[in-house]
Amino acid sequence: MYEQLIPCDHCGGRPTVGRSQRLVSFLPDPTYDYTQWGRLAGPPLIGDTLPRPPEAPKTEHLVCIYCADCGMQTPWEAVAPNERAAMDRVGELWNRRLNRPEAEITDLQRLVEREVGVPDIPAVLDLLSRTKGNWDEMGPVFAMLARRLIDATIVTFDGWPIEPVLQDAARYRKLVQLVKWIQIEGQRYAEFPRIYSPSENGELLFEDCLAVAIDSLPDRDRW
């Protein structure tokens, strides 16, 4: 969903996931000073994820999408019970509040929004340069591609660097090539290889530790 968020309609800034929390109970607890955290302290603040002390009134976690540049923001959604669903809801709100004319969501458009990114700019230009005639049909497609490429430039350059994503994709493919099918009680399972990770890598970040371990596997057979 993140890559499908449209840049801010107000300033063109980058949509960002905001997190906060708010009181679950709307009945005031007379034993607790609500001026510190709670309804009387104002609306949820972006970035307020500090765990409350156990004696403080219970809060629920929230997400929103906001513009990192001008602060335009969607309403808050409660994370529970499903964080992915909550993020999808605020993502849809974010994309819907824009003034952009509602284009019909065709399968092609969905494909473009999910799959076309900054690295595809040369390919799209090449396609455009080689198109002859039939502009009535191709024009709107190119308009859609161009719109998407501009959006992707803004959204993905800061927040979703392409290179690590490609490296991770290569690692995944390497792993896939080493997958074995195994049968357990008549059901088929994909078993990923057990990967050696030297203990001296233990101080790396979780992701980096895995990446180093996978990189040390033999390169995949590109046939």
Cβ pair 77, 64 in contact under 8 A: yes
Place of tokens 């008549």: 186
8 binds Zn ion (CB under 5 A): yes
24 binds Zn ion (CB under 5 A): no
x-or-dash pattern for Zn ion, window 148-187, by CB under 5 A? ----------------------------------------
Between vectors from CA 101 to CA 99 and to CA 107, what angle results, nearest 5°?
125
Among 6, 7, 13, 156, binds Zn ion (CB under 5 A): 13
Residues with Cβ within 8 Å of 164's Cβ and at least 6 positions away in sequence, in order, are none
Q: Residue 44 CB: number of other CB atoms within 10 A? A: 19
x-or-dash pattern for Zn ion, window 50-79, by CB under 5 A? -----------------x-xx-x-------
# of chain residues touching Zn ion (CB under 5 A): 8
CB of 151 or CB of 214, closer to Zn ion: 151
**Closest of 162, 44, 151 to residue 95, by C-alpha:** 151
Kindly state the smallest distance separating residue 86's Cβ from Zn ion, in Å.
22
Residues with Cβ within 8 Å of 218's Cβ and at least 6 positions away in sequence, in order, are none
* Residue ranges in contact with Zn ion by CB under 5 A: 8, 10-11, 13, 67, 69-70, 72
